[in-house]
Amino acid sequence: MKNPFDLTGRRAMVTGANTGIGQGIAVSLAQAGAEVLAVGRSPMDETRAAIEGAGGTMREVRADLGETGSVAAMFDKAWDEYGPIDILVNNAGIIRRADAVDFAEADWDAVMDVNLKSVFLLCRAFARKVFADERAGRIVNVASLLSFQGGIRVASYTASKSGLAGLTRLLANEWAAKGINVNAIAPGYIETNNTEALRNDPVRREDILKRIPAGRWGQPSDIGGTAVFLASDAATYVHGAVIPVDGGWLAR
């Protein structure tokens, strides 16, 4: 009997795979058998070492997803060069912090371009290829607790992640019957570069920790298992879900 979580023979593109949650997802997918196309702006030697150390295969794709005009071309080139892509994980994201009254328009645009616009463009490029080849596909978007809550001092990040949850549902409605599962993961407070400012603030760090029923901040690897599930045959009938992986934060 085949393991429904086995991704052997499948190819997964993971954006923002050079560090943090993206790296954790990339390694988990590779451990489940997928070939990983790791997309990032900076070298991904650490991700490669972890994947190859686990017996997996990784190919590096350098791209700046803030340059939205080249996103679709990057995807198409990767598909043509490495072969059909079965799984698309939209993880890359940036954050800018300031009071809303002082929030710079340039910071708003930069975050929205990476966190939301590039995701739509990648999803569209993926779907066009999948439909043309009459294949099945899986899209896993990385949302946030701020897809459900407001937060403070992160206006564009909250807007982008709220929009991403809506986009996930919209694409699921359009594409579920056409062979593409579109779902999202909403990570809680994970130890990554994006949360470094919070973790360096002793008051905020402790306030956050007190609210997490699990009693700890999450690790990037904590997100990987859910990504494997959503990318696998075990999630064939899962469409439009936004799954919190938050140590119980939203249940509090």
Of 222, 93, 105, 246, give the one whose Cα is nearest residue 163. Answer: 93
Residue 39 token pair:
């997309």
What is the average pLDDT across 204-229? 95
| pLDDT tens digits for range 2-20 | 899 999 999 999 999 999 9
**Alpha carbons 96 and 69: distance in angstroms, whole number:** 22
Is 252 inside a domain boundary? no
Over 80: is that where the pLDDT of 1 sits? no
| pLDDT tens digits for range 137-153 | 999 999 999 999 999 99
Over 80: is that where the pLDDT of 119 sits? yes
Of 78, 186, 166, 176, give the one whose Cα is nearest residue 127. Answer: 176
The predicted model scores a pTM of 0.96
- Distance in angstroms between the alpha carbons of the first and the last residue of the chain: 39
Q: What is the pLDDT of residue 194?
A: 77
Over 70: is that where the pLDDT of 50 sits? yes
Residues serving a catalytic function are 157
| pLDDT tens digits for range 193-204 | 878 888 999 998
Q: What is the pLDDT of residue 192?
A: 87
Q: What is the pLDDT of residue 176?
A: 98
**Residues whose CB falls within 8 Å of the CB of residue 225, separated by 6 or more in sequence, listed in order:** 28
Query: How many structural domains are present in the chain?
Result: 1
Structural domain of 127: 11-236
Is 39 inside a domain boundary? yes
Is 122 inside a domain boundary? yes
Is 4 inside a domain boundary? no
What is the average pLDDT across 65-69? 97
Is 243 inside a domain boundary? no
| pLDDT tens digits for range 79-92 | 999 999 999 999 99
What is the average pLDDT across 114-123? 98
Half-sphere exposure of 85 (CA within 13 A, CB side): 29
Supply the CATH number for residue 125's domain. Answer: 3.40.50.720
Is 166 inside a domain boundary? yes
Is 6 inside a domain boundary? no
| pLDDT tens digits for range 170-191 | 999 999 999 999 999 999 999 9
What is the average pLDDT across 21-36? 97
Is 75 inside a domain boundary? yes
